[in-house]
Structure 1
Amino acid sequence: MKAFNLIAVPHKDVLEGKFTMDVYAADLWDVHNGTAPLEYRDSKKFFKRTHLTSGLKEVMNTVEKRIKGKDGDPVIQLQTPFGGGKTHTLIALYHRAREWGAKSVVMVGTVFSANQTLWGELERQLEGEVKNFKDMTPPGSEAIKRLLEKHQPALILIDETLAYITKAAGVRVGETTLADQTMVFFQELNEAVKSLQRISLVVSLAQSHIEHYGEATERYYQQMNKIFGRVERIYSPIKDEEIPTILRKRLFSRINEGEAEEVVNSFIKYAEEEGVLPEGIEVSEFRKRFLKSYPFLPDVIDVLYHRWGTFPEFQRTRGVLRILSLLIHSLKEKNTPYVSLADFDLGNEDIRREFIRYIGDEFNGIIDADITGVESGSKKVDRELGAAYQWLNIGTRSSTTIFLYSFSGGEVRGATLRDIKRSATTLDIPSGVVDEAVKKLKDRLLYLQSRDEKYYFSNQPNLNKIVLTKMENVSEREIEEMEELVLKRELSTKTPLSLIVWPRSYSEIPDDARLKLIILRKDDRDEALHAIKYKGEGSKREFPNTLIFLAPMEIQRGAFYDSIRKHLAYVRIEEDSTLTLTEEQKEDVKKNLKLTEEILRERLRDFYRQIYLPSKDGVSVMILAKVAYGDRSKLDETVYEKLKAEGSVVERISHLVLLNKYLEGKDYVSTKAIWDSSVSTPGETRFATPE
């Protein structure tokens, strides 16, 4: 299938990455003054990229009727969430007003200074100067009516009212404030507008901004609702189902709907077979939604708009446009037929910044540690999935999907396994690969949480992170003590071998006729050879052939010590009463205590596998095989069986051996001589016991 950007062709500035954030920062005042980007300033370009939603059409029709004297509503209030399309609607009305032959008055609260009155600005824009409305108290409705009547038809657009009211509240006007006087002005303006046939007033209020201005501003907000409530109609410019169409129009110059449908049908077929479509949604409904949102999987818009969009500072439509612009540009070289949440590259600084601003800088480190870093858990999972899937980065795609599902301005967070599979998989692989990836991510990632069958990231370390921290604090002395303890547990007294663990000097190794298994702490063949020859300072050993050494394989030391650290970490976690663990985590600790104890045994047996034996030329070497699954034999028993199997130790001499080795050319041989030779001559066959 074709890459999505050959089917849905992005606007040139989006594809080339030449857009700036200002392109999506619509500003009514800049449009009014002719300083806005061309996309907003030029009416034709603006409407070419603007999808006329049903709400926007309704507002424009109402205002047009009013401007043309056909009894449209005199006052319209746009009350939307932050980024819900209000400013875009005001700009659309501004451009249309020119076509209707109406004057426009634009008042934007963020632009005006604290002591600048709205009534003075009204007169300035209509008359060219302020003559009659100079006072800090507003004119009456009749004076406002006379002014407006002279300039019919006219459209008055007021934006960012709360910002202005907050500033005006700090300006004293007699016993009141300028904010109080502005409330009076709004009431008088209302009366004047409704008495005229060809004047339209449109006021915008963004509900999500109220809490940022304090209790006083909230009271003014409620007061404005009462003032306008008698004559206004409240409009919402954008409905949820219209969002995909708006985004597509602003981001793409053209879309081949036939080719888009082919991709959508392929996905639906795959998703049905794999069982990854959202629960509770009919296949036909999801298909319809995907056709409407293509090239974006519906999940992309849902998560950005309805989860991230609930953060108070997230400008919904504008914010989503900005993020999707960055995403499209980042994927321009990728041959992906559609865009899912997994396609967000959180290693891309621009993309990451768009999300971090709402959740906190600490997530930079978390993203690096768990998702994007070269040695992050996700990258390790990518590699662990094997050559067939490694190039698809399924681990990273899965964790990226989870991350984007993890946050909202409310309580909703987390992704189900079905959600993750729908975004992280590709049409080329079975979705079960994602199952495997998520299982591995649970064991690898440090900030991934799960609850109620949903996965999400938080800034709180999970059990993996706690274990890692505890492991880092295990001392070398503790490792040595645990190694010795585990080693001694793995030894028995059921063989003829006399056991000597970690001798500190040669004198600790007895010089007698018993067979001895000397376990060395480090792999040192020279030390073993010296011990074979000498029992002390310069004193030669009488029974060198009785010494059998078991030494570690240094290449396995790191893995063995890691298993010690991990086991001790779980021991400490279980003992740490200051930790607040969930019941699920407590169960995991108990389970892992048993598991790490078993791993310790396995790693010990992998570690201690080299046998050194005295030989005529110095030292000969044997290597123990890895312990078979289920083998519960002790370490010294395994060594003894290996020695017997190789003929290095025998429990009895066969008739043929006596004839061929000891009686060749002789009539008899002393058994004492045979025994003495076996214990004193390096390389001779050893007897388990004198008997």
Structure 2
Amino acid sequence: MKPMAKLSWQPWHEVVQLREDLKTGELSLQMFAADLYEVLMQRGKQPIYESPHSFFALTFPTHNLRNLVRDVGLRLANQNDKAVRQLELTYGGGKTHTLITLYHLHYDPDHLPDLSAVQEFTQAIGHKPVKARVAGLCFDKLDVEKGMEVRSPDGKTRRLKQPWSVLAYQIAGDDGLRILHAEGKAEERETAPAENTLTELLELPLKDDLGVLILIDEVLMYAKEKVIQDRGWRERLRNFFQYLTQAATKVPRCCIVASLLATDPAKSGDELGRQLLGDFYDIFRREKEEGVEPVVKEDVAEVLRRRFFTPESIRDPGAFRPHVIAALKGIQAVDEQTAKA
């Protein structure tokens, strides 16, 4: 038997480098289960997503995502009037990854990593992302009985029950709660604040030359539980989102990006879910620009490439060309069908 001839091209694993967690077998499903709430809380439970460097090393700036980043970035810089954006996609479509992208770009833009994804996003905006006060309404984590723990701008944490309280505390801590409370106390209120009260809240960060970015995720999960418990909550939530979107359009440098659902209730025969979703869509459609689908099927190959290989080894795609050509020529030499192609 003749010894195998030496390959005329470099093996792929010498051209690009697999991520270490892939090589060691440490890659877990956590990598593909982004959690906006944990990113906001910064408790170290999801280091891949909490760290801007590791996050952007995994991120592929798709065409639609770059456009969304541009629109949000310009709104926060007071350079457009697109105050409300709605993500029109369900589970697996990149919605949470999109919200985390916006968080990292605007939470601490002075310390963004020097990675190609960050450079592409910055180019899309046309300038460095502006710093913003970022608040998240992660409704899948908001327990209808106990509420949720949230962080204030100075890092303090507090458990709050009402969604408007959760928002206010993230924007301005106890001062935010005082703005909402009838007696100026740092306590919760039971009813949805009106537009003028929310406008006053959203204007607070402007005094520190900050934009205001509100990220909303999984509204329908929470809304269904609350309405089943108390039918009056349907109107209460409808009022809250109506007042909030109206306030956001009136406050310069304020932007809302919302994902309303994880699954389509129409496909599961969920009549209450369908009705609630209709309520919320009607509200967000009044103020929003066209819907956004950050990841489409044409993006999947590049998304996976970012997941599997180190950023340094795929920084220059042009470097792959001679290796691919050499490999194809090698295959042509031993395969008639390839040679005819």
Q: TM-score when scaled to structure 2?
A: 0.73
What is residue 285 of structure 2 aligned with on the other side?
229
Aligned twin of 1:120: 165
**Match 2:55 to one of 12, 26, 46:** 46
One-letter code aligned to 1:227: I
Alignment partner, residue 448 of structure 1: none
Correspondence for 1:203 among 239, 258, 280: 258
* Equivalent residue, structure 1, for 2:154: none
1:240 maps to amino acid: K
Distance in 2 of aligned mates of 1:192 and 1:144: 6
Q: Distance in 2 between matches of 1:58 and 1:269?
A: 44
Q: Which runs of 5+ in 2 are unaligned?
A: 1-6, 110-129, 146-160, 182-187
Query: Aligned in 2, Cα 1:178/1:15: closer, same or farther, shift over 3 Å?
Result: same
Q: Distance in 2 between matches of 1:97 and 1:168?
A: 32
Instruction: Specify the code of the residue in structure 2 equivalent to 1:29.
Output: Y
In 1, the alpha carbon distance for the partners of 2:278 and 2:164 equals 21
- Check 1:252–1:163 CA distance in 2 against 1; reply closer, same or farther (3 A cut): same
Paired residues for 1:415-494 under 5 Å: none
Match of 1:105 in 2: 135
Residue 62 (str. 1) matches residue 71 (str. 2)? yes
| Contact kept? 2:221, 2:261, Cα under 8 Å | no
CA distance in 2, matches of 1:219, 1:202: 21
> Matched residue of 2:17: which SS?
strand
2:323 maps to 1:259 = yes
Q: Flag the 1:269–1:56 CA change in 2: closer, same or farther, 3 A.
A: farther
AA of the residue aligned to 1:71: N
Query: Which whole-Å CA distance do the structure 2 matches of 1:182 and 1:272 have between them?
Result: 66
**How big is the shift at 1:12?**
0.8
In 2, distance between residues paired with 1:189 and 1:264?
Answer: 57
Q: How many residue pairs get matched?
A: 274
Amino acid at match of 1:110: D
Tell me by how many angstroms 1:146 deviates: 0.9
The change in CA–CA distance for 1:21 and 1:143 in structure 2 (over 3 A counts) is same
- What is the aligned counterpart of 1:31 among 20, 39, 42? 39
SS of the residue corresponding to residue 10 of structure 1 reads coil
Change (3 A) 1:236 1:28: same
Aligned residue type for 2:239: V
Q: Measured at CA, do residues 263 and 208 of structure 1 come closer, stay the same or move farther in structure 2, by a change above 3 Å?
A: farther
Per the alignment, residue 273 of structure 1 pairs with 337
Q: Deviation of residue 169 (structure 1)? A: 1.4
User: Alpha-carbon deviation of 1:76?
Assistant: 0.5
Kindly report which structure 2 residues correspond to 1:16-27, keeping only aligned pairs within 5 A, or say none: 16-27=24-35
Query: Residues 204 and 269 (structure 1 numbering): CA distance in 2 closer, same or farther, change over 3 Å?
Result: farther
- 3-state DSSP of counterpart to 2:27: coil
Does 2:197 align with 1:188?
no
1:266: how far off?
Answer: 5.3
Give 1:113 deviation, angstroms.
Answer: 1.1
Rg larger for: 1
Q: Deviations over 1:224-270 (max 9, x none)?
A: 11111122121111132222111101211225613234335656888
Residue number in structure 1 paired with 2:216: 158
Q: Is the 8 A contact 1:71 1:197 kept in 2?
A: no
Whether the 8 Å CA contact 1:10–1:251 is kept in 2: the answer is yes
**Using CA pairs below 8 Å that are at least 6 residues apart, which structure has the higher relative contact order?**
2
Determine the C-alpha separation between the residues in 2 that align with 1:201 and 1:186: 11
The match for 2:202 among 143, 148, 160 is 148
Worse-superposed segment, 260-269 or 195-204: 260-269
Q: Deviations over 1:493-515 (max 9, x none)?
A: xxxxxxxxxxxxxxxxxxxxxxx
Paired amino acid for 1:220 = L
Conservation of the 8 A alpha-carbon contact between 1:63 and 1:72: no
| Correspondence 1:316-331 to 2 at 5 A | none
Please give the secondary structure, in 1, of the residue aligned with 2:87: strand
1:243 matched to 2:300: yes
The 5-angstrom pairing of residues 276-295 of structure 1 reads none
- For 1:41, the aligned partner's letter is E
User: For 1:11, which of 19, 25, 31 is the aligned residue?
Assistant: 19
How many angstroms does 1:87 deviate by?
0.5
Name the Cα RMSD after superposition: 2.5
C-alpha displacement of 1:208 = 3.3
Any idea what SS the aligned residue of 2:85 has?
strand
Output the CA distance in 1 between the equivalents of 2:205 and 2:26: 42
Q: What TM-score results when the alignment is normalised by the length of structure 1?
A: 0.37
Any idea what the Cα deviations from partners look like across 1:5-63, whole Å, max 9, x if unmatched? Answer: 33332111111111222122110000111134322111122112211111111111111
- CA displacement, residues 281-307 of structure 1 (integer Å, 9 cap, x when unaligned): xx7xxxxxxxxxxxxxxxxxxxxxxxx
- The one-letter code matched in structure 2 to 1:140 is A
Pick which of 264-273 and 130-139 moved more. 264-273
* Contact 2:216–2:258, Cα closer than 8 Å, also in 1: yes
Contact 1:64 1:72 in 2 (8 A): no
2:144, 2:225 within 8 Å by CA — same for their partners in 1? yes
SS at match of 1:88: helix
| 2:333–2:339 contact (8 Å) kept in structure 1 | no
Question: Do the aligned partners of 1:145 and 1:193 also contact (CA within 8 Å) in 2?
Answer: yes
Change (3 A) 1:60 1:170: same
SS at match of 1:155: strand
Closer, same or farther: CA 167–268 of 1 in aligned 2, 3 Å: farther
Using the alignment, how far apart are the partners of 2:133 and 2:332 within structure 1?
51
CA distance in 1, matches of 2:217, 2:46: 19
Aligned counterparts of 1:80 and 1:104: Cα–Cα separation in 2 = 22
Do the aligned partners of residues 7 and 260 (structure 1) sit closer, same or farther apart at CA in structure 2, a change above 3 Å counting?
farther
Q: Which runs of 5 or more structure 1 residues have no equivalent in the other structure?
A: 277-282, 284-691
Q: Is the 8 A contact 1:160 1:205 kept in 2?
A: yes
Contact 1:107–1:121 under 8 Å retained in 2? yes
- Partner residue, 1:497: none
Conserved? CA contact 2:36–2:99, under 8 Å: yes
